[in-house]
Each structure stands twice: as C-alpha cells, then as structure tokens.
Amino acid sequence: MNMERKFAYSLDTKTTEITTGILIGLLLGFVVIIISSQAAKVTPVYLLIIALILVFTFIALGVEKRREIFLGLFAFSVSLSAVDKWFLPRAHYGGAVGIQISLSDLLLLILYGMWLGRILTSAKGIDKDFKFVRRGVVPALLFVFASALSVFNAPDLKLLVFELFQMFKMLLWYFFIINNIKSENDLKIIIGGVIVSVFLHSTVALLQKFSGASMGLTKLGELSQLVGEPVGGKIVSRIGGIMPHPIALGSFIAQTLSFCLGAFLTWKNKKMSILSGITIIFGFTALIFTLARAAMIAWVAAFVVTIFLAIRGKYFYGVKSKAIIGITLVILVVSIAFSSLWYERFFASRASNVTARYALNEIAVNMIKAHPLIGVGLNNFSSVITKYDTNGISLIFTDPVHNLFLLIFTETGIIGLLMFLWFLSVPLKAGTRCFLHHKDNKFITSVAVGGLVGILAFLIVGSVSWEFRISPLTQLFWLICGVLVATEVVCKKQKQVVEEGEW
C-alpha cells in the first residue's frame, strides 16, 4: 500500500512538473513573440521586467510550493491590463476592443494545468466537493449565454465576439477559483497578492504625481501621459498608476480597501499588517489625485461600512485599535490638506459632463424600448448610438451610457440583466452566510466582508460609469465574486455552522 502511494505521489509530482513546464514554455514563447514584434519599442525597463519574469519562472520551478507562488502572482497580476490585443478594429469605448490576453490569463492557464495534472494522477480523481452545477456556475453560464443572444441584433459582430471572449475567460476564472480556493492559506495568498498589487499601483501613481510624468510602463497598462482635468480655472494632472485611466485606478483602490483593512486588523503576520496599513494610506493619497468622484464616494462608503462591521465583529483589540485610529487621523489630515481641490472637483468641475450623462441615459431608454428582450448587442452601444440619439449628444460624446445596469439592459436586454442579477446574488449570499455564521475565524470573516464591501464599491462606481468593462476592473470583479463563494467552501472545510443549500 505504501509503495502504491509513493508511486502515485511520484507520478502526480512528475506529471505536474511536466505540465507546468510545457505551459510555462508556452507563456515564455508568447512573451518572446510579443517582444520581438515590438522590438523597436523595447526599453531597458521592459528588458528588466522580462529578466525578472525569467528568473522568477526558474525559481518557481525549483520549489515545492509552486502552486502557491503562481496563485499569488495570479492575484497580484489581476489589476494589470491586457498584454496584447489582437484584431483591433478601431478606437472603441464601452468594452473589449480586441481578443485580449492578460498576464493573469496566462498564469491561470498554468494553474489549470497543475489542477488537471492532479486530477489525472490522483487515485481519488476529482475532489468530492467539486460540483459543476452548484456555487453559482449555472447563473454565470446563463449570464454569458444571455449576452450571446444579443448577437441577433448586434450590428458589429466583431465587438460582440471580443466582449463575449472576455466574459468566457472570466467564467473560467470564476470556475477555477470556486473549485480551488479551499483553505485559509489559499485565501491569504489571494488577498496578499491583491494588497501587494494595490501598494504597487499606489506607489507608481504617487511617483507620477510628484514627477509630473508617466513612469514608462505603458506595456503594463500605464497611460503614456497624464490626463489633464480643468478644476478651479486651471488644469490639474490626474494620475492612473499602471491603469488605463484614473477612474480605473480610483475604482480599484475603492474596491480593495476593505481587504486591506481586514488584513490589517486580523492577520497575525506583522509584516503583512504593516504593509496593509501603509497601503491604505498610500491608496487613499493616490485616490485623491485621480480626481475620480464616484471612486472617492465608494472609498468613503467602503471605509465606513468596513469599520462598522469590524466593530460588530469585535476586530478591534490592543495595538490594532490604536493603529486604526492613527490611520484614520492620517487620512483626515490628508483630506483636509486637499479639501479645496475636491470641493472644486465636486461642485465646480465641468457641468457639461453631467448633462451629457443625462442625455446618454435618454438614449439608453430609447434602445431599451426598441429592443427590450435581448438588447442592441453586447459591446455595441457606441455602434448604434446615433440611431437612437434624439438630443444630438452623439455628435460630441460617443461613450456608452454611464450606468452599469442601464448598459447591461440596453446591450443584452431584460434577459441579460436578470441573469446578471441572479449571478450577482450568489457571491453576495455566500459572503453574507460566512460573515453571519463563521465569526470564530476573524480572518475568513474579514475576507467575506472585504468581498461584500468590494462589490458595494463596484456598484457605486458602476452607477455613474462604464469603466467596469475595462480589463483590470472586469478581472477584479470576477475575482471578488469567486473569492466570496470560496469563503463558504473554506467555512465548510473548517466544519463551522454554514447552511448547505442549492443555489
């Protein structure tokens, strides 16, 4: 029996190593192809990044816990934009502009290979708690299917296919996370990767502000130059970190704040707690200079709700309670220092933008009236805007409607909107269950709170923007949904009181 177990373990290890090696080879080959095709644009910064990737890859192959390393890197890279876009038709706002492949997609491919290797070589086969139908997979599938139905009305099939490809990728993300994040350690790896990512983006954003220029990281998603915004009679630079737009950075910081707060309050690892505290301050300071109004509202709401739930969950104790008061005071001081800038931003900044958004809402209503069931076509709002424009706004403003629910309704109809709401209810239900019934483990509860508050921030920003369709924010949303469902899996693994139900 022992010999059989050793042989099975050896076969599992060798298969995983071979699968991992093949997939990493494909990853590196893909990177080489991209770099060679862009040879004239390669800078020393990118050569350094490639060197670091190569070094990391060979180190990762030589350690035992390679799964944990790639899982952490996957979570870290979620906020990075696509590394390449193929079949780009034209400049387009409102969704995918090509077949987008991100670094996270490539890392997930490696993780899928490792998972498949374990399944094929394991004597038990698929884990007993693996279930395809449950954990919100059906609502997610139907949401993607409902979006695909809009093909019958879509005038630009390429744009629909591009966005549908993006949704299908996210479905694979979600499926992997809910079936592979099964322990407290897995959750810590995911949340740790996200926190480090927030720290990186915030640091780069602050460097942009103080230097007055970009950092030369356009291949990773950074804008080639800072965005200018007229505020109080002068042009103020808006920073975006390694994001394609300042609004995207602001939304990213707001959606991840609760994870940072939860880690600061509940993690026993002092280094991670310190990093989380610094990230909260850096993130808020960077958020100020994004001038993203909805993101600021979402951040404040996320902070207040998280602190309220932390008090209810009795997370405050000893040094941590004093430290969080100190962080709050720093935030207040920074807020006061830049209060005049934000007063101008909220009350004296381009009223024409608000007027344009109301006009876009009217166009969206016209589209809904014309195609209430399956919409005008996924990712096609901008393609048909002139047809339903009764106020002339499309002559100067071609962005899609700045509202999450209206955009889904107009492009995929009532069927798509209902499927989205059904899908969204799954992680919300899972996170709420974990928070209410698993209070003994404060870290897992803090992750549930972080996910719930992250979705709250997502909905706040999404109520006045379409930027949730930008690749990093799309990826973050699906990651949060998957993590919320995974918290319930971890709850059951630790034999806590969590009701079992079919979703």
**261 located within any domain:** yes
**Residue 39 binned pLDDT confidence (cut-offs 50, 70, 90):** very low
Say if residues 226 and 213 touch (Cβ distance below 8 Å).
yes
Cα separation of 164 and 168, whole Å? Answer: 6
Cα separation of 397 and 388, whole Å? Answer: 14
Instruction: Give the pLDDT of residue 492.
Output: 73
Whether 100 and 184 share a structural domain:
no
Whether 171 and 121 share a structural domain:
no
Whether 315 and 198 share a structural domain:
yes
Residues ≥6 apart with Cβ < 8 Å to 251: 292, 294, 295, 298, 457, 458, 461, 465, 467, 468, 473
Tokens of 107: 């890392």
Whether 174 and 309 share a structural domain:
yes
**63 located within any domain:** yes
Instruction: Give the pLDDT of residue 170.
Output: 93
Higher-pLDDT residue of 457, 436:
457
Instruction: Give the pLDDT of residue 174.
Output: 94
**Residue 160 binned pLDDT confidence (cut-offs 50, 70, 90):** very high
**410 located within any domain:** no
Higher-pLDDT residue of 475, 217:
475
**Residue 421 binned pLDDT confidence (cut-offs 50, 70, 90):** very high
Percent of the chain with pLDDT over 90: 34
**Residue 14 binned pLDDT confidence (cut-offs 50, 70, 90):** very low
Q: Is the pLDDT of residue 222 over 90?
A: no
Residues ≥6 apart with Cβ < 8 Å to 243: 79, 81, 201, 221, 222, 223, 249, 252, 470, 472
Percent of the chain with pLDDT over 70: 77
Instruction: Give the pLDDT of residue 1.
Output: 44
**151 located within any domain:** no
For residue range 94-122, what is the model confidence (pLDDT) as tens digits?
A: 888 888 888 888 889 888 988 887 777 76
| End position of a domain, from candidates 97, 128, 159 | 128
**56 located within any domain:** yes
Whether 191 and 329 share a structural domain:
yes
Instruction: Give the pLDDT of residue 176.
Output: 92
SS (H, E, C) 208-238: HHHHCCCCCCHHHCCCCCCEEEEECCEEEEE
Give the residue numbers spanning the domain of 245. 167-348+416-465+472-493
Q: What is the mean pLDDT of residues 477-487?
A: 94
**298 located within any domain:** yes
For 294, the 3-state DSSP assignment is helix
**Burial, 408: exposed, middle or buried (Cβ in 10 Å; 0-12, 13-18, 19+)?**
buried
Cα separation of 406 and 29, whole Å? Answer: 41
- Eight-class DSSP state of 269: -
**Residue 451 binned pLDDT confidence (cut-offs 50, 70, 90):** very high
Higher-pLDDT residue of 477, 23:
477
Tokens of 420: 């989205």
Whether 88 and 178 share a structural domain:
no
Instruction: Give the pLDDT of residue 321.
Output: 74
For residue range 299-308, what is the model confidence (pLDDT) as tens digits?
A: 999 999 998 8
Whether 199 and 70 share a structural domain:
no
Instruction: Give the pLDDT of residue 280.
Output: 93
Furthest-apart CA atoms within the chain: distance in Å? 79
| End position of a domain, from candidates 98, 128, 158 | 128
Whether 308 and 232 share a structural domain:
yes
Q: Is the pLDDT of residue 49 over 70?
A: no
Number of domains in the chain: 2
**330 located within any domain:** yes
For residue range 170-221, what is the model confidence (pLDDT) as tens digits?
A: 999 999 999 888 888 899 999 999 999 999 899 989 988 888 877 777 767 7
Q: What is the mean pLDDT of residues 470-480?
A: 91
For residue range 315-330, what is the model confidence (pLDDT) as tens digits?
A: 655 567 778 888 889 8
Q: Return the amino acid letter for 283.
A: G
Whether 123 and 172 share a structural domain:
no
| End position of a domain, from candidates 128, 158, 185 | 128
**Residue 15 binned pLDDT confidence (cut-offs 50, 70, 90):** very low
Backbone angles phi and psi of 260, in degrees to 5: -65, -45
E strand or H helix at 408: helix 404-437
Spatial CA neighbour of 114 closest among 179, 53, 171 = 179
Whether 342 and 424 share a structural domain:
yes
**160 located within any domain:** no
Find residue 86's DSSP bridge partners: 99
Whether 177 and 111 share a structural domain:
no
Lowest mean pLDDT among 126-135, 376-385, 421-430, 450-459: 126-135
Question: Which range, 237-246, 344-353, 453-462, has the best average confidence (pLDDT)?
Answer: 453-462
Whether 86 and 212 share a structural domain:
no
